[in-house]
Amino acid sequence: MDLIQLLGSSFECTCGRQHTVPIEEFFYDQYSFGSIPRLINRFSDGNRCMLIADSRTYMVAGEEIRELLADDDFTVQRFIVPDIDGESPVVDSQTKDSLLEECSAADLYIALGSGVINDLVKWLAFLQHKPYIVVATAASMNGYASANVAATVDGLKVLFHAAAPKAVIATPDILINAPHELSTAGLGDVLAKSVSGADWRVNQFLFGDYYCQFSVDLLKHLEPIYLKNPQKIRDRDPAGFKALFEALFYSSVAMTITGTSAPASGGEHLISHTLDMLAARDNHAHDLHGRQVGVSSILMAALYERLMTIEEPQFKDPPTHVDESFWGSLTPVIEKEFQEKLPRMSEAAAILKIPANWRAIKETIRPNLIPAQNLKECLREAMAAHRYSDLQYNKSPLDMDFFMEIVNHAHQMRNRFTVLDIATIVGVIPDETEALIEKWLS
C-alpha cells in the first residue's frame, strides 16, 4: 500500500479492528508552506489563526508564515511559549494553563516546532475543541501525527490521548539545516520501534493484550534507508532525511490508529521518562528525548539478546514497594503505578516458569528484534548518542552509577509491562545491569 493513501482513510485491519486515520494531509516539499491558507479554509470555519512557537522555532519560519497568512487576509496572532529558568519550555499543567488563558480566541491553531510545541498545541486544541496543523522544524521525534500527549503532571511523566493534527507540513531545507543533535534524536526515537514492538508482542503473548502487526510493519520498507545508511543522516543527505521524517511521521500514525503508544514506546522510553522525571524533581537539565531513547534502545535490544541465551530461568520475587531512597518526593505517584503493575509481574512469572512457555516466548519475540550491535553501529555512524556518557544530565556527561540505578528502577515508573520487567523477574536486572551497560554503552 502507498502509505499516503492511508491519510484520512478508514479500513478493516488484519488485527480485527477498524482503523481510522484522522490526519488528512502530509506535505514534505520545498513549497509546503503555500498549502497553509488552503488548509485553514478547509479545516476551520473562520479566519482567526493562532501561531504557537517557542523563541527558537519562531525564528526558523514564524515571520514567513505570519506574513504569508496576513497577505491572504487571515487574522494571525502569535504566542511564544516562554522558556523555563533559561531552558526550553516543558509540557506540564502550568504551561498548558497559560496557553488556555492566552490562546483561546482562535479558529485554528498552528504549531511551529517539534516535541514540546507539538504536544502543547495538541493538548490545547483538544481542550478547546479546535483543529490544528503542525509545521515541523526538526526531524527530532515521532509524535507529529500522534494523538498522544506526553506531559508531566504532579511530577509523573504521563501519556494520554488527545487529538491528532489535521495536517503535518515540513520543508526539506528546514529539517536538513536543523541542529544535527535534533536529527539524530529523531533517529534514536525511530530506532526504538524494534524493541518497543517486541515489548508489545510480549504483552499479547502473556496477557492476551491487543496487538497489531500491521502497525508494527508499517515502516518496514523505510528501515533500510536509515538503518543501513546512517551516514545519510550524518551527511544531511536529502533522501536520508526524507526517509527519516517519513518514518517518524508514519510511526506516529501507527500510534494514532491503534490508540496506544505501544508500537513505538517500550522499556527504552521508561528509561528516558525516568531521566526526565528525576531532572524535573531536582531542577536539573536533561538531554533530548530521542537521544536518551536511542541509547536506551541499544540496551533494551541487548537485554532481549541476553534473555534469549537463558535456557532455564530462575525467577525472583520483585519488591512489593518502590525504592523511596531512589524516587524521593516522586514515591507516592510511582508507588501507585507500580502497585498496578505488580499483579502482571506475578502473572508473567507464573506463565514463564513453564518451560514450554519460556521457549515459546523467545521464539515469538526473536523475529521482531534488530540486533543491539546494528542499533549501536547505526547511531555511532550517524554521529548520534550511542553511549551513556554521550547523554547530558545536569549539564554534565551522565554518570555510570546513576545510569545503572535508573535502569534498575525504571520499570517501576509506569504500569506498562516491558523487557525491563522480564529482566527483573529473572534477576538479569539488577545482577547483570553493570556488565550489560559496560559492554554495550561504554
Distance from C-alpha of 397 to C-alpha of 56, rounded to nearest angstrom: 24
Residues of the chain with CATH 1.20.1090.10: 194-441
Distance from C-alpha of 426 to C-alpha of 353, rounded to nearest angstrom: 10
Q: Each residue of 374-390: pLDDT tens digit?
A: 999 999 999 999 999 99
- Grid cell of 38 as nine digits: 488552503
Higher pLDDT pick, 331 / 89: 331
What is the DSSP code (8-state) at residue 77? E
Residues of the chain with CATH 3.40.50.1970: 31-170
Distance from C-alpha of 4 to C-alpha of 210, rounded to nearest angstrom: 25
Q: Each residue of 323-374: pLDDT tens digit?
A: 999 999 999 999 999 999 999 999 999 999 999 999 999 999 998 899 999 9
Beta carbons of 355 and 180 less than 8 angstroms apart: no
Closest by alpha carbon to 294, among 218, 208, 342, 227? 227
What is the DSSP code (8-state) at residue 340? H
Architecture of domain 31-170: 3-Layer(aba) Sandwich (3.40)
- Residue 296 has a pLDDT of 98
Please give the average per-residue pLDDT across 173-194, as a whole number. Answer: 95
- Grid cell of 271 as nine digits: 528509561
Q: Each residue of 189-239: pLDDT tens digit?
A: 999 998 999 999 999 999 999 999 999 988 787 788 888 889 999 999 999
Helix (H) or strand (E) holding 224: helix 223-227
- Residue 291 has a pLDDT of 97
Beta carbons of 115 and 142 less than 8 angstroms apart: no
End-to-end CA distance of the chain: 41
Mean pLDDT of the chain: 93
Q: How does residue 31 score in pLDDT terms, banded at 50, 70 and 90? A: very high
Q: How does residue 160 score in pLDDT terms, banded at 50, 70 and 90? A: confident
Alpha carbon of residue 282 to chain centroid: 23
- Residue 245 has a pLDDT of 93
- Residue 186 has a pLDDT of 95
Centre a 10 Å sphere on the Cβ of residue 180 and count the other Cβ atoms it contains. 14
Distance from C-alpha of 437 to C-alpha of 128, rounded to nearest angstrom: 45
- Grid cell of 431 as nine digits: 545482577
Beta carbons of 219 and 287 less than 8 angstroms apart: no
Please give the average per-residue pLDDT across 26-36, as a whole number. Answer: 95
Q: How does residue 147 score in pLDDT terms, banded at 50, 70 and 90? A: confident
- Residue 162 has a pLDDT of 87
Q: What is the length of the chain? A: 442
- Residue 367 has a pLDDT of 84
Q: How does residue 130 score in pLDDT terms, banded at 50, 70 and 90? A: very high
The CATH number given to 194-441 is 1.20.1090.10
Beta carbons of 207 and 161 less than 8 angstroms apart: no
Share of the chain above pLDDT 90, in %: 80
Alpha carbon of residue 222 to chain centroid: 18
- Residue 307 has a pLDDT of 97
Q: Check pLDDT > 80 for residue 87.
A: no
Distance from C-alpha of 192 to C-alpha of 158, rounded to nearest angstrom: 19
Please give the average per-residue pLDDT across 157-184, as a whole number. Answer: 92
Q: Check pLDDT > 60 for residue 153.
A: yes
Higher pLDDT pick, 187 / 143: 187
Largest pairwise CA distance in the chain: 70
